[in-house]
Amino acid sequence: MNLPLAALVMGLALAGPAAAQDLAAGAVEVRERALKDTTAWDIVESLTTEVGARPTGSPAMERAKDWGIAKLKALGFQNVHAEPFVAGAWTRGPESAEVVAPYAQKLQILGMGRSPSTPRGGIEGELVFFDSLEALTAAPLGSLNGKIAVINQPMLKAQDGSGYGFLNRNRTRGPGEASKRGAAAFLVRSLSTDDTRLPHAGALTWPEGVKPIPAAALSVPDAQLLDRMAARGAPVRVRLNMTSTMTDKALAWNVVGEIPGSAPGEIVVVGGHLDSWDAGTGAIDDAAGVAITTAAAKLAGSAPGGLRRTLRVVMWGAEEMDYSGAAYAEAHKDEVAAMVMVGESDTGPGPVWRVRLPKGSAQHPAMRAFTAALAPLTVVVAPEPSTFGGSDVAGLIKLGAPVASLSPDATRYFDLHHSADDTLDKIDPRDLAQSVAVWASLLYAVGASDVDFRALAIQ
């Protein structure tokens, strides 16, 4: 036994039952195997190579469903199956944008999910610039009649991805607010921290009773270009041509596999989302999350002594359009009481730098074993409890499931996500392995112990 592990075991032995020693040793053993294991890399390489981009409702998404079932079976998961549900699906067609005055130039855009097509022949209009959603909503109704509204707000690069959280409303709410004010179309500076001429896609929402208008994301350099044109004083006019189709009746699937535990009726639910946007191959968003949680569950489940709790991995099938989490929660609402913990990996391949645990659980021997095992991995255990774990588990959390939140370093994530740059070469296998090690240690500590997060939360 090496000295760090000996010290860890001795400390836990003084603070808890003998089982704590086994948890401590097991968490370290799982961590060490995970750092050397290539399962996660093999999974993300396989999905991005053999399927590629996989928007909900596309033939590729059906292939991804079949891929997921085959992969889980090959890895030894049990009760492998696909759970179908109905989702909305948006499909991109040909699209283009260009400045027609004062200086003719091509622009790089990506239409946003739920955007309608332009009329045949396109739309041409004068741009009206806003530096925030607040500025747009302050514009009087009718003030944008026939114009194209543009929100051109830079995004902050941050380790915790908070810049995206703050600006996400520009994309999701901006088109509806522009339509209320009479705009013929809407453009937004991509929610991105990159410097490439690759726009970043994403979904939007339409408020009840608001007329949908064509809406697209601009690449960051093109948004800056339009700003410079506007600064010269002459009106800027743009022509948009966009085609797309939207259905509310697409078939989608959540793909499920389990590693059974010895205690019936106790489940840990984790996963990533299988769908992706169409521009790249969905490597960081979210083949990486699928790979991390699948590999972590496999490693935790094969630890000596086995697990008490069943580990259930879900590959959610319609996260980008925000359907799969609600569908899963509805289908499993009667099972939430049996869910010991839930979590989702959906912020890229790591490395994990921060962990938030369920309320009141930090001093439980199982969580002490887990957090002690993190010592070599440079991970901070935040004092505040977890409240959010990903959009696909949000419905389960609302129904009362405890959640753990693991935060990968997102400094570069928003250079890539939802863009053509979301490809396998952007993943560092060492970072991926570190993320697997953190997740696997957590799943082992929860799965092999009797920790009751609900009871700890009310003490």
Q: What tens digit of pLDDT does each residue of 245-292 get?
A: 999 999 999 999 999 999 889 999 999 999 999 999 999 999 999 999
| Nearest CA among 165, 215, 220 for reference residue 186 | 215
Compute the distance between CA of residue 67 and CA of residue 46 in angstroms, rounded to an integer.
Answer: 9
| Nearest CA among 330, 274, 344 for reference residue 85 | 330
User: Do 76 and 262 meet the contact criterion of CB atoms below 8 Å apart?
Assistant: no
Half-sphere exposure of 274 (CA within 13 A, CB side): 32
Compute the distance between CA of residue 402 and CA of residue 337 in angstroms, rounded to an integer.
Answer: 10
| Nearest CA among 187, 251, 258, 194 for reference residue 223 | 187
Tell me what pLDDT residue 12 has. 42
Angle CA 226–90–283, to nearest 5? 80
User: Do 66 and 317 meet the contact criterion of CB atoms below 8 Å apart?
Assistant: no
Which positions ≥6 away from 62 have C-beta within 8 Å?
Answer: none
Tell me what pLDDT residue 428 has. 98
Cis amide linkage into residue 351, ω under 30° from 0: yes
CATH of domain 103-235: 3.50.30.30
Amino acid at 40: A
Tell me what pLDDT residue 21 has. 85
Tell me what pLDDT residue 124 has. 98
Half-sphere exposure of 441 (CA within 13 A, CB side): 30
Buried b or exposed e, range 42-63, using 16+ CB within 10 angstroms: ebbbbbbeebbbbbbbbebbbe
pLDDT digits (tens, 9 = 90+) for 325-364: 999 999 999 999 999 999 999 999 989 999 999 999 999 9
Tell me what pLDDT residue 2 has. 42
Tell me what pLDDT residue 9 has. 42
Compute the distance between CA of residue 427 and CA of residue 435 in angstroms, rounded to an integer.
Answer: 12
Indicate the domain borders of the chain: 3-88+249-457, 103-235
Tell me how far CA of residue 18 lies from CA of 9, 11, 24, 142, in angstroms: 10, 11, 10, 71
Tell me what pLDDT residue 5 has. 43
User: Do 237 and 122 meet the contact criterion of CB atoms below 8 Å apart?
Assistant: no
| Nearest CA among 85, 27, 9 for reference residue 317 | 85
At 176, which helix (H) or strand (E)? helix 174-180
Tell me what pLDDT residue 54 has. 98
DSSP letter at 58 equals S
User: Do 238 and 97 meet the contact criterion of CB atoms below 8 Å apart?
Assistant: yes
| Nearest CA among 293, 273, 274, 327 for reference residue 60 | 274
Tell me what pLDDT residue 350 has. 86
At 127, which helix (H) or strand (E)? strand 123-130
Helix-then-strand count for the chain, H and E: 15, 14
- Residues of the chain with confidence (pLDDT) below 70: 1-18
Tell me how far CA of residue 334 lies from CA of 87, 338, 399, in angstroms: 22, 9, 10
Sign of the C-alpha dihedral computed for residues 224, 225, 231 and 235 taken in this order: negative
The CATH T-level fold of domain 3-88+249-457 is Aminopeptidase (3.40.630)
